[in-house]
Amino acid sequence: MTVLVFGQTGQVARELARRAPDAVYLGRAQADLSDPAACTAAIRAHAPDVVINAAAYTAVDRAETDEAAALQVNGAAPGAMAQACADLGIPFLHVSTDYVFDGSGTAPWTPEDPVAPLGAYGRSKLAGEQAVRAAGGRHVILRTSWVFSAHGANFVKTMLRLGADRPALRVVADQIGGPTPAGGIAGALLTMADALRQGAAGGTYHYAGAPDTSWACFARETFAQAGLAVTVEDIPTEAYPTPARRPLNSRLDCATLADFGIARPDWQQALAEVVSELKGI
């Protein structure tokens, strides 16, 4: 199976490269997602068996004042990729986010629940989902949340950096979700890609770590596993204002992963592996 991946330095792309080193990985220099036509041309030039889009505009707060750029990268580019794949009759896999939901209630969001993004980033990701579906090809849209790894910028690395210098930190405790290892996402994408190649129907799926927790509890576990004596003070979202509103409820119902024989990952176990890797760097 020849795999073409959009993304090279992001968390999921880096983990895909570990698991599928023979795949072709396109960074911004090879295919700039701000130019959807370049993405289409890359797919046609490489003629792969399957395409995975692991690249995105992920600056949630900056998107509030840069929505046009976010829409181009997260909306138009995936749509162009999906259309090229549909025309060539090959599967397309696309990573999306819990930010397409408004974060209301406490029940885990199912793939079929109504979407209502709170901000520009969520709207741009929703636009991408809609464009992928509209292309009409065989596809998987994999929504995920709270991604972490030993690479790039993420919550775990931020906590470890701050915790190395501070005895106490204030962390939001009323946002609830499933921390998700990028390595797990990569593995799920490759499993789904193989299934699509063998005729699976595809659709929209959720993949998030278990058990659900708060950012504050996630921080405590991070410090505990790293051996850092940092006191975490629980604070509400309104005590930590940001340009973009964050969903309070990011719980994702992942039951339909069973279609592919995939289970939710244990984020605490994955966190231990990430912390160990970071200590070795």
List active site positions. Answer: 121
CA distances from 210 to 8, 144, 146, 214, 234 (A): 27, 12, 11, 12, 21
Task: Measure the CA–CA gap between 159 and 215, rounded to whole angstroms.
Answer: 10
For the chain, the first-to-last Cα distance in angstroms comes to: 32
- Residue 67 corresponds to which tokens in the numbers above? 């929505």
Diameter over CA atoms, the chain: 56
Closest among 195, 15, 69, 16 to 4, alpha carbons compared:
16
Task: Measure the CA–CA gap between 19 and 91, rounded to whole angstroms.
Answer: 19
- Length of the chain measured in residues: 281
- Residue 164 corresponds to which tokens in the numbers above? 């190395």
Pairing of strands 249-250, 202-206: unpaired
Residue 78 near residue 130, CB atoms below 8 Å: no
CA atoms within 13 A on the CB side of 255: 6
Task: Measure the CA–CA gap between 266 and 257, rounded to whole angstroms.
Answer: 15
